[in-house]
Amino acid sequence: MTRRIAVQEEDFDAGAELAALAGDGAGGVASFIGVVRGEAGGRKLAALRLEHYPGMTEAALARLADEALARWELTGVTLIHRVGRLLPGQNIVFVAAASAHRAEALAATAYLIDRLKTDAPFWKAEEFADGAARWVAARAEDEAAAAAWRKDLPPGPDGL
Amino acid sequence: MRVLYFAWLREKTGVGQEELSPPPEANTPRALAAWLAGRGPGHAAAFANMALIRCAADQEFVDLDATLGDAAEVAFFPPVTGG
């Protein structure tokens, strides 16, 4: 079974990551890729800077992976988050889950990206094309999405 | 105790981490932050609004009013914004 966690400056190869999960005997693989936007609040973005808490970040991602593996019947989970200075269009995050059944893979993928946004110590700063920069504020919608998964019964927003 | 600062707390304090010996009464994140705020204007600015601040003790998220006990590493940071 694949259980891959990575925090890295370099880009990831989504095709290779998906192939690794599919080669694990899965019936299906679901994934989510987060990409740097070209604008924020109507202003053109030059770059996004991603900072994290080394050590705690990896532990937090591993915990989320273990929670997904305990909650659904999965054959594999991969979580990769980039840090450093990223340009519009570049990859930020890769989340994938493999299972014998599509519903489990899709639910686990949604769970992992929703929880990652509130439970892993990453911080984003936006650098605008005009030279200004600001730290991104946390969004209440992200907290609500993560909180929905914390309820025990039903296990998830869609009963999964 | 090692105290770490991330994101705009690091920028405001001007330091990523520091080794400190806080007094025994600074035994919750909120009390520790109040003590840290006295270290200088940068620290005071960083801890001016505790509603914007989160904490981890020994790399586990903790409430601002939790007991720190014998935590060796305490980190202060804004709400996380990964993904």
Closest Cα in chain B, distance from residue A93 (Å): 6
List chain A residues with CB under 8 Å of B60.
56
Answer yes or no: do B59 and A55 touch at CB < 8 A.
yes
pLDDT (tens digit, 9 = 90+) per residue, A24-53?
889 999 999 999 999 998 999 999 999 999
Answer yes or no: do B59 and A117 touch at CB < 8 A.
no
In 3D, which of A81, A90, A80 has the Cα closest to residue A36? Answer: A90
pLDDT (tens digit, 9 = 90+) per residue, B18-52?
999 999 999 999 999 999 999 999 999 999 999 99
Mean pLDDT within A95-102: 96
Domain assignment of residue A155, yes or no: no
Point out the least confidently predicted range of A18-27, A112-121, B55-64: A18-27
CATH code for position A146: 3.90.1170.40
Domain residue limits, chain B:
2-67
**pTM listed for this prediction:** 0.93
Answer yes or no: do B82 and A81 touch at CB < 8 A.
yes
HEC sequence for chain A:
CEEEEEEECCCCCHHHHHHHHHCCCCCEEEEEEEECCCEECCEEEEEEEEEECCCHHHHHHHHHHHHHHHHCCEEEEEEEEECEEECCCCEEEEEEEEECCHHHHHHHHHHHHHHHHHHCCEEEEEEECCCCEEECCCCHHHHHHHHHHHCCCCCCCCCC
Query: How far is B10 from B40, CA to CA, in rounded Å?
Result: 14
Please report the pLDDT score of residue B4 as a whole number: 98
Range of the domain at A17: 2-150
Mean pLDDT within B64-80: 97
Please report the pLDDT score of residue A152 as a whole number: 54
Domain assignment of residue A160, yes or no: no
ipTM summary value: 0.95
Answer yes or no: do A117 and B8 touch at CB < 8 A.
no
Strand duo A28-35 + A43-52: pairing: unpaired
The two tokens of residue A75 are: 């054959």
Domain count, chain A: 1
Picking from A31, A33, A50, A53 by the largest number of B CB atoms within 10 A of its own CB, the best residue to mutate is A53
Q: For chains A and B, count residue pairs whose Cβ atoms are closer than 8 Å.
A: 68
